Structure 1
Amino acid sequence: MAERGLDATDRRIIAALQVEGRLTIQELAERCGLSPSPCLRRMRALEAAGIIKGYAAVIDQARVGLPVSVFASVKLERQREEALDRFEATIARWPEVVDCYLMTGQRDYLLRIVVRDIEAYERFLKEKLTRLEGVASIESSFALGQIKRSAALPIA
């Protein structure tokens, strides 16, 4: 099911689930103007197509003791496929890295790292990121505050 294959009903289902992923099928069907059986079929089809990738709770990072977000721009020594694959495989195993993007421009990757405090970031940097083979340079920026965070895509 390609993006252009989404009809208005699929978009309503996606929009409703992005706001509240814990809706019952009955509630979702009511919000989307369907009966429960067709709604469930459509939702399962969206899941099977990989459009709906999963469901998760949104956690307040400060309230769980992880108030610091650091954005680290990483430049690799080489941009060969095997170097990129090795970097990505390692980063994927580190729980502190909550987002990682392959970038264009001066830097190769942009990471969002979530930690308890500046000292925890320093340990992460010294014990993990700077020891990673192939890293040429790292630039870190500390977020002063979060203005907006959303997992909802502008599907409408």
Structure 2
Amino acid sequence: MSAGDEITLDAVDRRIVRLLQEDAGLSNNALAERVGLSPAPLSRRLQRLYDSGLIRQTVVIDPRKAGIGLQAFLEVTLERSVTMVGERFIETVSRMPEVIECHTVAGDFDFLLKIAVRDVADYKRLLWEGFDRITEVKTLRSTILIDTSVMRTGRLP
């Protein structure tokens, strides 16, 4: 099964995913107990969920504790919305450590980026030294993130 294929989930798979979303630090034994499986079948199910790409292992950091004092959403409009230009833009922003998310969108702009920096001066540096050098960028529009009230990493339909 390739990572792009949809995976069929039963009630136990859904419970495993939900429990891990609530507490990713659960041990396999504790998770097995909560879903009513022994550790071996649970491990096989988890491996299938990871292999399918449904579950991706990631580390979520606390921005303030990491010295990130400012987060922003940056709306980017390119001069031309052709595949090659878009791919080049994605490749460029993928190399910027301050860009923590890059979404291709439909609407009034082409990309929505989430930026994490130390402070306003660091954001100004990124805009002037990073994005000003990307010739395909037509417009940039910033929205400063004040607080994150709800954050989920995904949900099952």
SS at match of 1:74: strand
- 1:27 partnered with 2:27: no
Q: Which runs of 4+ in 1 moved over 3 A?
A: 1-4
What RMSD over aligned residues (CA atoms) do the two structures have, in Å?
A: 1.5
Q: Once the 2 structures are TM-superposed, how far is the Cα of residue 54 of structure 1 from its aligned partner? A: 1.6
Whichever residue aligns with residue 98 of structure 2, its letter is: E
Corresponding residue number in structure 2 for 1:135: 137
Alignment TM-score, normalising by the size of structure 1: 0.92
Among all aligned residue pairs of Structure 1 and Structure 2, give the percentage whose two residues are the same amino acid: 38
Corresponding residue number in structure 1 for 2:21: 18
Provide the aligned length of Structure 1 versus Structure 2: 154
Corresponding residue number in structure 2 for 1:86: 88
SS at match of 2:50: helix
Whichever residue aligns with residue 8 of structure 2, its letter is: G
Q: Give me the whole-angstrom Cα distance separating, in 1, the residues matched to 2:58 and 2:20.
A: 9
Unaligned runs of at least 5 residues, structure 1:
none
Q: Give me the whole-angstrom Cα distance separating, in 1, the residues matched to 2:43 and 2:148.
A: 35
Q: Once the 2 structures are TM-superposed, how far is the Cα of residue 4 of structure 1 from its aligned partner? A: 6.0
Corresponding residue number in structure 2 for 1:145: 147
Summarize the Cα distance change of 1:131–1:70 in structure 2 as closer, same or farther, 3 Å threshold. Answer: same
Q: Give me the whole-angstrom Cα distance separating, in 1, the residues matched to 2:109 and 2:42.
A: 44
SS at match of 2:63: coil
Unaligned runs of at least 5 residues, structure 2:
none
SS at match of 2:85: helix
